[in-house]
Amino acid sequence: MAEISDQPVHAAVDAQEVSAVGELSQSRLTWMRFRRNKLALIGGIGLIIMYIVIALGPFLAGNDRQYQNEDYLFGPATQITFTGPDGRFGLRPYIYQVTTRLDPEEFKFVFDIDRETKTPLEFFVRGDGYKLLGFIKGNVHLVGAEGDQRIYPLGADALGRDVFARLLSGGQVSLTIGLVGVALTILLGSFMGTVSGYFGGLADDVIQRVVELIMSFPTVPLWAALAAAMPPISGSFSTLDRYFLITVILSLVNWTGLSRQLRAKVMAYRESDFVMAALAAGASDLRIIFVHMMPNASSHIIVVAALSIPGMILGETALSFLGLGILPPAVSWGSMLTDAQHIPVVLEHPWLMTPGIAVIIAVLFYSFLGDALRDAADPYSI
Amino acid sequence: MGSQTDFADLSEDNVLLDVQGLKKYFPIRRGLFQKVVGHVKAVDGVNFFIRDGETLGLVGESGCGKTTTGRTILHLLSPTAGKVRFKDPEQGWMDIASMSRQELQPIRRNMQIIFQDPFMSLNPRMTVKRIVAEPLIINKIAAGQELIDRVAEILKVVGLRPEYMSRYPHAFSGGQRQRIGIARALALRPRLMICDEPVSALDVSIQAQVLNLLEELQEQFDLTYLFIAHDLSVVEHICDRVAVMYVGKLVEVASTEELYYNPKHPYTEALMAAVPKADPRQRDRPIKLPGEVASPSNPPSGCYFHPRCRYAKPICSQEEPALREVEKDHWVSCHFAEELSLRGVVVGPSV
Amino acid sequence: MSDQVSVKAAGSGQNVQQPTRRDSILDVRGLYTYFYTDLGVARALNGVTYSIPREKVLGIVGESGCGKSVTALSIMQLVQPPGRIVKGEVVLHRQNGAGPTDDVVLTDLARHGVAMRHIRGAEIAMIFQEPMSSLNPLFTIGAQIMEAILLHQGVDEAEARDRAITSLDRVGMPSPKVVVDQYPHQISGGMRQRAMIALALSCAPSLLIADEPTTALDVTTEAQILDLMRTLQQDIGMSIMFITHDLGVIAQTADEVVIMYLGRVVEQAPVDPLFYDPLHPYTRALLRSIPRIGRGIKEKLQPIRGVVPNPYSRITGCPFSPRCDSFMTGVCNVNVPGVTYLDDGRAVRCFLYSDRVEENG
C-alpha cells in the first residue's frame, strides 16, 4: 500500500478561497445573529433586570412581606413629593403623614393624607430583618422613612401586607419555577424523543402512545388533580418540597412536545449522510447519538426550551390562582392574584392587579427571547 | 433457472468483492396495526463482482436500486438476503452480509463510502479536523498530536490546505466539501470505496477536478471503486466495467467499451440513445420508451422491462430472463440477447 | 479577426447599441440585479445584455453563481427583496399580427401591477427545475392549469377544462382525461414536468423560459421532454429561453447560446460555432473539462483550476482571470473587459479580442 506522499496531489490549492466566517462555530454564529435582534435585546436585558430585582427583593422593599399592618388594610400607594416642608421643590423625596379612620357612614376605612406634615425619605435605613437569597442576613433597606412610618410603593392588600414586597418575593417563585421546570422538560423530552426516534420499533410505539395519552388530557384539570393530591404542608413536607413537586407536575405535560419534535429530528438525522459515514467508520449507537446527533439538535432543544418557559410561568400562575399551587406562607404572583378575583375589589384597589402585569411582562420578555433564538439558530445547519 | 448464477471464479486471485443474490426489501405497512402488506423490492437479487483495483460503474435511473445496493454492501442497511463476500488479505473470504454489528466493527475500515450531497454529508457542528479524525478516533488508530498530523497529511493528499482544518464545513464550496468527504473516507486506508454519485451535485467545472482526484487516489492507494452514477458520460470516462440496473435487477454487465458501443440489452440501448451529446452536429431522436419506470413494489411479470421494450415477445411477460454470459465477460439478462443487434453510442467527430 | 468587428459600448444601461437583431422577441439590456443582504451586496447580474431570437431556442449556460436563474427572474420581475433590479431594461417586442412590434419595457412596469401580471403566464411563461415543488400539492393538475386559463383567457369553467385537457394532450401526457383530475403526487416526475409544460403553454405564450427543466429528471425522461420541447417549439412557433448547466442538453436543443460567468455574459454565439470554435477561455476550458460520451477514446479531463468565487467578493479586473489559462498580467487583472461584437452574431467579453473595457455601472 502506498504511503501518503508529501506532495499534494493537486496544485489546485492556490486559487481556493475559504470564507473567513468558517472559523466560527454554529454557536457563535447563532449568538451573533441573536444579538442583532432588537426585541431580543429588550427581552434579555429586561429579564436580567427582573432577576436582579427579585434577587435583591427584601433589600429593595421597605417592609417584610409577611408583616400585616392592621392600620393599613387595602391602603393605597404611598405618595411621594419632592416639595419640602418649606415649600421649595428640591431633590429630596418626602412622604405625607397618613392616618386611617373608619368612616361611620360607608363603613369603610378612609385614609387621610396630611399634606402639611412631611417626613423625608432616607436611603439605606434599618428596618425589618431579612435573609437575602435565603442565607445572607441583613436588615438594611434601600429606602425608608424616619420613625415608624412605612412606605407602600404599591399599596397594601387585604391583610395590610406590602404589595411591592410580596411582588418581589413572589417573583422569586414565579420566575424560577419556569427554569427548573424547563430543565426537567429538556432531560425527559430529549431522552424519550431520542430513544423513540433512533431505535424505533416497539420502544417507539410505546413511548408515542404514552405521549399521546398525556397530551390528550386537558392540561389544567390534570395539573389541578395532581396538585390537589399533594400532601399538606407539614414538618415532613415543606413549602420547598411543594415547590419542586409543582415543577415536576408542570414538566410532566411539557416534555411531550419536545420529545415529539426531537423524535422527528432524530429520525431525519438517522438517514443523513454524515451519520451513515459515522456508521461506516464503525461508530456505536451511543456515539452516534451523543457525538453526532445531539449537537445538531441542541439548538432546537434550546429554542423549544426557551419558548416553553412562558407556558410554565403561566401554568404556575394559574395553579396558584386556583389555590392549588404555591400555598402560604410562600407567595407567588399567581397566589397574589387570588385577591384580585372580584371586580368591585379590583375597582376600588387596582394595585392588586400588579402581579398580573408582572406576569405579562415576564412572559413577553421570554417570548421575545425565544423568538429571537429561533430566528437566529442554525444559519447553516440542517 | 433463476437469476442467481455463480458469477465469479473466486479462485481468481484478483477478485475483491463478490456479491451474490443480494436482496433488500423495504416493508410497506398499512392499517392500524401497521401490518406488512407488501414490499418495495429495491434490490431484487443482484450478482456481480469487482476485481481488485478496478472501477465498476453501477448505473440506472431513479428507483433502480443502485444507491441501496451500495449502502447494503457496506451493511449500512441490513440485507434481506444474499451474500456479500469480501476478500480480506489476512483472513480470506468473509461474508459481510451475515455478520453482526460487533463482528463487522473491525472489518468496516476496509470499505468506505463517499456521498453525493456535499452539504449533508458533513456534520455542520464539527470542524474539518474533527470530521476527518473521527474514523481514526472511533477505531483508536491515533490520538493527540499524531492524530492532527495524520489529518493534515490526508488533507494535503486531497488538495486542501491543512490550515483550514479548524474551520467548519459551511466555509467551503461544494467541491471542497467533497474533498473533505473523500479525506474522511481515505482516513482508514480502505481497499474498497463506494462512490455514491460523488460528482452529481457539483458544478461542471469542478466535476473534472474531483474525478481526476479520484483517479489519482486510486492509483496512489490501490483503491477499488464501485462508482454509482446516473451520468453516463462521467461513467464512461472513469469506469473499467459497467453494470446497468433496472428496478432492482441487473440487466447488463460488461466492459465500458462493450456496454457503450455494443450493448445487448434493449434498456441499455435506450439509455445510450437518450444521453444528450455535447455535439450540435449529432442530434439524434431518442428511442421512445413508452410508459413509465416500473414500480419496485409491484413489478411486471417475467422480464421487468417487457412493457416498455420494443422487441418484446410473449415469452418476455412469462419468464424472467437470467443474467448470463453471452460473450466473454459480457453478461445480459434478455431472452433474445444473441439475436438482437442493437445500436450503441455513435462515435462522433473529434471536436 | 475580421475587419467588420463592431466595437460598441456596453454595460451602461440605456444606450446599449449592439448590432440590431433581425428579429428578437425579448431584449435584455445592461441589466444589473443586486441582492442586499446581511453578509454584503451580492452582485448577481453585472450588466447582462442579450437577445432572445424569435421562434428559436436561446440557451443560457453557466455554473452556480453565474446569474442565469436571476436573469430569468429579472425578466419576469420576480426578483424578491432583498434583491432588486438596480439598472438596465428588459424590452418585450410584442407582435400584433403583421404590423410592427409593440415594444413593452418590462422593467418600467410595476412589479405587482396589472400589466405585469397579465404578461406573466399569458405572454411569458416559466417552468422550473423541481416539478414537485412548483406544482401545488393541494390542487389537481387540471385545477392548476384551469386557474391560468381562467385568469387570462376569460372563458367559462367547462371551456377551461377542455382547454386544459387539450393542453395536456399536446404535451404527450398519457390519459389526459384521467390525469386532469389527479394530484401531483399521484403521477411520476416526467409526467409532472409535462404537466408543468402544459400549464405554461395553456395560454399560448410567445416566450417560454425554462429554468433547468430536465436537471432533476432521469436521462430517458429528459430525452423525451427535450424532444417534446423541440417539437412544440417548431409546431407553435414559440421562442424558448433554456437555462441549464448541461452542455450536452444545450448542444441538442439550442439554436443560440449565451455563456454566463459571475453575472456577466462572456460569450454569445450560434450553437455550432460555440462548440466547434469557442472564443472565450472559459468556454474553451468548460468544453475541455467535461467528459463527453461517444469519443471512443478515454481522454484526460482538464479541470478548470480554482473555484467559482462567491458573489459577495469583489475581484479587480476580469472575474474569470484567476482561473484563466490565457491570463495576461497587467491587462486582465486591472479592468473588466467590455463586450466585443463580432459578425455572424457572435459576441465575446475578453481582452484577447479587443482592448474594450467595461464601463462601470
Give per-residue pLDDT as tens, B134-178: 999 999 998 899 999 999 999 999 999 998 899 999 888 888 999
Residue A351: its pLDDT value, please? Answer: 87
Comparison of pLDDT for B69 and A179, the residue scoring more: B69
Output the 3-class SS for chain C.
CCCCCECCCCCCHHHCCCCCCCCEEEEEEEEEEEEEECCEEEEEEEEEEEEEECCCEEEEECCCCCCHHHHHHHHCCCCCCCEEEEEEEEEEEECCCCCCCEEEEHHHCCCCCHHHHHHHHHCEEEECCCHHHHCCCCCCHHHHHHHHHHHHHCCCHHHHHHHHHHHHHHCCCCCHHHHCCCCHHHCCHHHHHHHHHHHHHCCCCCEEEEECCCCCCCHHHHHHHHHHHHHHHHHHCCEEEEEECCHHHHHHHCCEEEEEECCEEEEEEEHHHHHHCCCCHHHHHHHHHCCCCCCCCCCCCCCCCCCCCCCCCCCCCCCCHHHCCCCCCCCCCCCCECCEECCCCCEECCCCCCCCECCCC
- What confidence score (pLDDT) does residue B348 get? 67
**Distance (Å, whole) CA C278 – CA A272:** 42
Q: Does C323 touch chain A (CB under 8 A)?
A: yes
Is A104 part of the contact surface with chain B (CB cutoff 8 Å)?
no
Selecting from A10, A287, A382 the residue whose C-beta is nearest the C-beta of B124 gives A382
Instruction: Identify the band that residue C173 occupies on the pLDDT scale cut at 50, 70 and 90.
Output: confident
Q: What is the mean pLDDT of residues A194-223?
A: 89
Residue of A nearest to B159 (CA): A10
Q: If pLDDT is split at 50, 70 and 90, which confidence band does A22 have?
A: low
Query: Is B135 within the bounds of a domain?
Result: no
Q: Which residue of C has its CA nearest to A14?
A: C306
Number of domains in chain B: 1
For residues A170 and A320, what is the distance between their CA atoms, to the nearest angstrom?
11
Q: Across the B/C interface, how many CB contacts are shorter than 8 Å?
A: 152
Is the separation of the CB atoms in B68 and B43 below 8 Å?
A: yes
φ/ψ bin of C357: left (φ > 0), alpha (ψ from -120 to 50), beta (otherwise): beta
Whether A13 and chain C come into contact, CB under 8 Å, resolves to: no
Q: Report the residue of chain C nearest B176, measured CA to CA.
A: C307
Name the neighbours of B, counting chains with at least 3 Cβ pairs within 8 A. A, C
Question: A251: pLDDT confidence band, cut at 50, 70 and 90?
Answer: confident
Residue A172 phi, psi (nearest 5): -60, -35
Q: How confident is the model at residue A137 (pLDDT cuts 50, 70, 90)?
A: confident
Q: Which residue of A has its CA nearest to C304?
A: A12
pLDDT tens digits along C191-209? 888 899 998 888 888 899 9
What pLDDT, on a 0 to 100 scale, did the predictor assign at position A19?
58
Q: Is A22's Cβ below 8 Å from some Cβ in B?
A: yes
pLDDT at A5 over 50: no
* pLDDT of res. A178: 82
Q: Where are the alpha helices (DSSP H) in chain A?
A: 26-35, 38-55, 57-60, 163-199, 201-216, 219-228, 239-270, 273-280, 285-287, 294-321, 333-337, 343-348, 354-376
CB burial string A295-311: b at 16+ within 10 A, e below: bbbbbbbbbbbbbbbbb
Contact C251 B279 (CB under 8 A): yes
* Closest Cα in chain C to A16: C306
Cα B11 to its chain centre, rounded Å, is 24
Confidence of residue B224 (pLDDT cuts 50, 70, 90): very high
Enumerate the β-bridge partners of residue B125.
none
Question: Does a structural domain hold residue B208?
Answer: no
DSSP A94-105: EEEEEEEEEETT
B203, amino acid identity: D
Mean per-residue pLDDT, A105-113 = 79
A12 to chain C, any CB pair closer than 8 A? The answer is yes
Q: How many CA atoms lie within 13 A of A130 on its CB side?
A: 24
For residue C315, the model assigns a pLDDT of 79
- Evaluate whether residue B338 is within a structural domain: no
Q: How far apart are CA A164 and CA A171, in angstroms?
A: 11
Q: Do A11 and C306 touch (CB under 8 A)?
A: no
Is there a contact between B274 and C219 if contact means CB atoms under 8 Å apart? yes
Q: Please state, in angstroms and as integers, the Cα–Cα distance from residue C316 to each residue in A157, A160, C41, C313, C320, following that order.
A: 74, 77, 16, 10, 10
Mean pLDDT score, A98-110? 80
Q: Residue length, chain C?
A: 361
User: Across residues C3-22, what is the average pLDDT?
Assistant: 40
Beta carbons of A23 and B166 less than 8 angstroms apart: yes
- pLDDT band at residue A193 under the 50/70/90 scheme: very high
> Which residues of chain C neighbour A19 with C-beta distances below 8 Å?
310
Residue pairs spanning A and C at CB distance below 8 A: 18
CA distance B222 to chain A (A): 7
- Interface contact B208-C219, CB threshold 8 A: no
pLDDT score of B7 more than 60: no
Nearby residues of C148 by Cβ (< 8 Å), 6 or more positions away: C121, C199, C202, C203
B113 contact residues in A (CB cutoff 8 A) = 276-277, 280
pLDDT of residue A382: 45
For the cut 70, the answer to whether the pLDDT of residue C12 exceeds it is no
Q: Quick check: is B68 in a domain?
A: yes
Please, what is the average pLDDT of chain A?
82
Place of cell 416559466: C126
Residue B275 lies in a domain: yes
Query: Quick one: how far is CA A323 from the chain centroid?
Result: 20
Q: Residue B67: which CATH number?
A: 3.40.50.300
**Would you list the DSSP string of A168-196?**
HHHHHHHHHHHHHHHHHHHHHHHHHHHHH
Other beta carbons within 10 angstroms of residue B3's beta carbon come to 17
Q: Which residues contact C96 (CB under 8 A, 6 or more apart)?
A: C102
Banded pLDDT at A18 (limits 50, 70, 90): low
Q: How far apart are CA B308 and CA B106, in angstroms?
A: 45
Burial class (CB in 10 A: 0-12, 13-18, 19+), A56: middle
The x, y and z cell numbers of residue C56, run together, are: 428559436
Residues B305 and B266: their CA atoms lie apart, in Å, by: 9
Cα separation of the two ends of chain B: 47
* More confident of the two residues B285 and B247: B247
Q: Please tell me the number of Cα atoms within 13 Å of A325 on its side-chain side.
A: 32
Q: Does A20 touch chain C (CB under 8 A)?
A: no
Radius of gyration of chain A (CA): 28
Distance from CA of B349 to the nearest CA of C (A): 8
Least confident of B147-151, B206-210, C10-14: C10-14
- How big is chain A, counted in residues? 382
Q: Is residue B305 part of a domain?
A: yes
Give the minimum alpha-carbon distance from B121 to chain A in angstroms, rounded to a whole number.
4
Which residue(s) pair with C61 in the sheet?
Answer: C244, C259
Instruction: Tell me whether residue B234 is in a domain.
Output: yes
Strand bridging mode C256-261 / B81-88: unpaired
**Is A39 part of the contact surface with chain B (CB cutoff 8 Å)?**
no
pLDDT of residue C10: 37
A341 touches chain B (CB under 8 A): no
CB–CB of A292 and B123 under 8 A? yes
Inform me whether the pLDDT recorded for B242 exceeds 80: yes
* Alpha-carbon distance C305 to nearest alpha carbon in chain A (angstroms): 6
The answer to whether the CB atoms of A14 and C309 lie below 8 A apart is no
Could you tell me if residue B117 is inside a domain?
no
All residues of chain A having their beta carbon less than 8 Å from the beta carbon of residue C303 are 12
What is the side-by-side strand order in the sheet with A89-103?
A80-83, A89-103, A108-132, A136-145
Contacts of A208 in chain B (CB under 8 A): none
Q: By three-state DSSP, how is residue A228 classified?
A: helix
**What is the CB-side half-sphere exposure of residue A156 using CA atoms within 13 A?**
25
Please name the helix (run of DSSP H) or strand (run of DSSP E) that holds residue B102, with its range, or none.
helix B101-104
Residue type, C130: E
- What ipTM describes this predicted complex? 0.86
Tell me how far the alpha carbon of residue A193 is from its chain's centroid.
25
Inter-chain contact A21–B125, Cβ cutoff 8 Å? no
Residue A27 has pLDDT above 70, yes or no: yes
Residue A84 has pLDDT above 50, yes or no: yes
**Average pLDDT score, chain C:** 84
pLDDT in the model for residue B346? 81
Neighbors of chain A by Cβ distance (3+ pairs < 8 Å): B, C
Would the pLDDT of B114 be above 90?
yes
Residues of chain B numbered 223-262 and touching chain C (CB < 8 Å): 230, 232-234, 236-238, 260-261
pLDDT at residue C271 tops 50: yes
Q: Which residues of C touch A14 (CB under 8 A)?
A: 305-306
Question: How confident is the model over A83-109, as a mean pLDDT?
Answer: 79
State the smallest CA–CA distance between residue C264 and chain A in angstroms.
21
Using CA atoms, how far apart are residues A369 and B253, in angstroms rounded to an integer?
Answer: 60
Element (H, E) at B181: helix B174-186
Q: How many whole angstroms separate alpha carbon C130 and alpha carbon A312?
A: 43
**B138 vs C134: which has the higher pLDDT:** B138
Separation of alpha carbons A381 and A299, rounded Å = 10
Binding-face residues of B in 220-249 toward A, CB within 8 A:
220-222
Q: How far apart are the first and last CA of chain C?
A: 28
pLDDT at C2 over 70: no
Do residues C171 and C228 lie in contact, with contact meaning Cβ atoms separated by under 8 Å? yes
Q: pLDDT grade, residue A17 (50/70/90)? A: low
The more confident residue out of C305 and B309 is: B309
Of residues C343 and C139, more confidence is placed in C139
Average pLDDT over residues A353-370: 91
| Phi, psi dihedrals of residue C109, rounded to the nearest 5° | -80, 150
Provide the pLDDT for residue B10: 55
Q: Which domain holds residue B261?
A: 4-110+223-332
What is the Cα–Cα distance from B20 to B6, expressed in whole angstroms?
Answer: 8
Q: Nearest CA of chain B to the CA of A14: how many Å?
A: 9
Please report residues of B whose CB lies closer than 8 A to that of A12: 159, 209
What are the Cα distances from residue C224, in Å, to B108, B288, C228? 42, 7, 6
- Which residue type occupies A287? R
Axis-axis angle for helices B174-186, B204-221 (nearest 10): 20
A40, A372 Cβ separation under 8 angstroms: yes
Do residues C81 and C297 make contact, with C-beta atoms less than 8 angstroms apart? no
Residues forming beta bridges with residue B327, ordered by sequence position: B330
Q: Which of C303, C306, C313 sits opposite A16 (nearest CB)?
A: C306
Spatial CA neighbour of B210 closest among B180, B230, B239: B180
Counting Cα atoms < 13 Å in the Cβ hemisphere of B207 gives 29
Residue C20 has pLDDT above 60, yes or no: no
Report pLDDT digits (tens) over C214-250.
888 888 888 888 888 888 888 888 899 999 999 999 9
CA count, 13 A, side-chain hemisphere, C298: 12
A1 pLDDT more than 50: no
Residue pair A250/A223 in contact by the 8 Å Cβ criterion = yes
Q: A297-316, pLDDT tens digit by residue? A: 888 888 888 888 888 888 88
B4: pLDDT strictly greater than 50: no
Least confident range of A83-97, A357-371, B39-53, B223-237? A83-97
Residue B209 has pLDDT above 60, yes or no: yes
Task: Kindly tell me the burial class for residue B322, based on how many C-beta atoms sit within 10 Å of its own C-beta (0-12, 13-18, 19 or more).
Answer: middle
Residue C73: predicted pLDDT? 92
